[in-house]
Amino acid sequence: MRQFLKYTLASLTGSILFFLLLGFLVAVGAVGLAGVLVANLAKGGAPAVEKDSVLVYDLSTLIVDSPVAVDPGSVVLGTAPPSQLALRQAVLAVEEAATDPRIVALYLKGSGSLIGAGLANQMDLRQAIARFKETDKPVIAYDLSWSEREYYLASLADTVYLNPFGEVEMNGLYAETLYQAEALQKLGIGVQVVRVGAYKSAFESLTRNTMSLQERQQTQRLLQDVWQALLADTAQARSLQPQQLQAIANTQGFVFGDAAKTQKLVDQIAYEDEVITALREITGEGAEEQPGDQDNQYSFRQVSLSRYAQVVDDELTSRSASQQIALVYAEGPIIDGESSGGFGQTSVIAGNTVAHQLRQVRQDDEVKAVVLRVNSPGGSATAAEVILREVQLIQAAGKPVVVSMGDVAASGGYWISATADAIVAQPATITGSIGVVSLFLNLQNLGDNVGVAWDGVKTAELADIFSSSRPKTAQELAIFQKAVDSIYNAFLDRVETGRNLPRNQVANLAQGRVWSGKSSQELGLVDELGGLEQAITKAATLANLGDDWRLQEYPEPTEWQRFFSLFQAHTVSLAGPADALTEQMTRVFNDNLDLVKTLNDPRGLYMRLPATLVIE
């Protein structure tokens, strides 16, 4: 019956979404659709790049790990971001532009506050921008107001512009969590948590009204590590000392207008039209606006990073070689079972799906090494072990596995990484969190409040152990604690073996504690600091491949994803920028909804970071 309902509902959902798609296509219009398809499918349909063009990197461009992270549902509903790039595509595009004679400059266009790349991915991009700068092509950056994270990239520019009425944010990092224990209590929703690890703070927001001492301690250490890395890089780019930027953060927070120039945070105070005039001089178009211009944003010869990436050849994937390095993406919360890969499917790491993919890679004789790109806060303990088993089988087959950590590779994300032959992370990567937790909600008081009651029969005392109609008994909690302890000890085993660390040392740095990539490297949890390309190079070295290899990325896009990716560069989001309050409430709602949707471990055991931690 369960399978019948599952497939019936799937069929019904597919029918509904078909009609939504039909309505979308009608709204777009047959002529417009045909134009998009012809433009993208025709041979040679890639965008042309004019001579003496400026490469424009809009810093709000969403930079994701996987090149196939296309959500068809968002395209159909018109909520897809206007531009989205995989990290490797973005990095390769910037590096290619450095030697492309058609590209004369790089323009970093700020968006006021939005930044589409996480901190670790920003570090990969920053290295690419630095390499572009080494070619002596000018790098220009402009924003009305520079947010701190945007400024981290913009600080590399030869000329940083600021609007006369703008400011540079320099007030440090801040992390906060929404605590909901009292609200849940008032609603009549009971929460019980079984955990191991003094610092394992996942679900703490549901059981407390304030931050625990351990959570405060580890978050402060994490922020301090990341902040110092950002300070050092930014200060070096601006020929300043980190202490100068720290003083600004402590006493000013925001540096306005001319003061930002005086304090050497920016080079020029100018309006956008003046910046565009400077860009037109670089392209050789002169200072005058082109006839018929409606918007100065488009009045200089340019190509966006998203469109330029379409014409860039990936030398690693296109080279001729029989040997392969498989780059497998594991992005999102870890869930048990299969990935539907259908409409509205959020980015998740489905245990069985990823394991199947790794199995295929292991059985492919052409694959000589594997790079596992992990960007995950963790999730299902069962699914994480399913994935790790396949990683170990790849290694047993004589193929080295290198893990490249993205913005987050913690808890279950660290579990699937622990036994790799090498782990490469950025200083700002959030990792560690070696601990286990189990969450149980009950609705008994809520039922009492609204006049709802549960009743039933059972054949054994523990038959209703997973019931949400009542709190767990002391006996039941003891059973779950035993299971949690068992998983935790297994976690320590894998770290001890995989990282070749003494057991007592692993036990001391575990306890569910979160570490930055920088601290993890010092502690032995991470081998090297660097980005994705460094991990790929490491894999080639470990497999003794020399230059005789090519890169193959997994998962390969489905036909649906290939189809919808055609629209991505031609659609814009229908949702405009929300006000601060709406944005915050939406984020809180989505965080909790995403958490609930991914808690599907069959035993209710999780290795996961706090889902509501926000660093700003």
Element (H, E) at 362: helix 351-363
Residue by residue, what is the 3-state secondary structure of 247-299? HHHHHCEEEEHHHHHHCCCCCEECCHHHHHHHHHHHHCCCCCCCCCCCCHHHC
Spatial distance between the Cα atoms of 62 and 48, rounded to a whole number of angstroms: 23
**Catalytic residue status for 200:** yes
Helix (H, G, I), strand (E, B) or coil at 528: strand
Helix (H, G, I), strand (E, B) or coil at 336: coil
- Using alpha carbons, list the distances in angstroms from residue 334 to 21, 322, 346, 350, 437: 29, 33, 12, 6, 14
Active-site choice (66, 299, 306, 411): 411
Runs of H (alpha helix) within 368-527 = 381-396, 412-415, 444-450, 474-499, 503-509, 517-523
Q: Which of 373, 377, 430 has the alpha carbon at shortest distance from 402? A: 373
What are the backbone angles phi and psi of residue 86, rounded to the nearest 5°?
-75, 150
- Using alpha carbons, list the distances in angstroms from residue 136 to 43, 133, 230, 266, 558: 34, 6, 24, 19, 41
**Catalytic residue status for 368:** no
Q: What is the DSSP letter of 102?
A: T
Tokens representing residue 311 in the block: 């014409």
Active-site choice (109, 137, 200, 518): 200
Tokens representing residue 113 in the block: 């506050």
Spatial distance between the Cα atoms of 97 and 306, rounded to a whole number of angstroms: 12
Q: Position 519: which residue type?
A: S
Kindly report the CA angle at 208 between 207 and 210, in degrees rounded to 5? 160
What are the backbone angles phi and psi of residue 448, rounded to the nearest 5°?
-60, -40
DSSP codes of every residue in 78-99: T-S-S-EEEHHHHHHHHHHHHH
Runs of H (alpha helix) within 134-212 = 148-154, 181-187, 204-207
Cα 592–chain centre separation: 17
- Residues serving a catalytic function are 200, 411
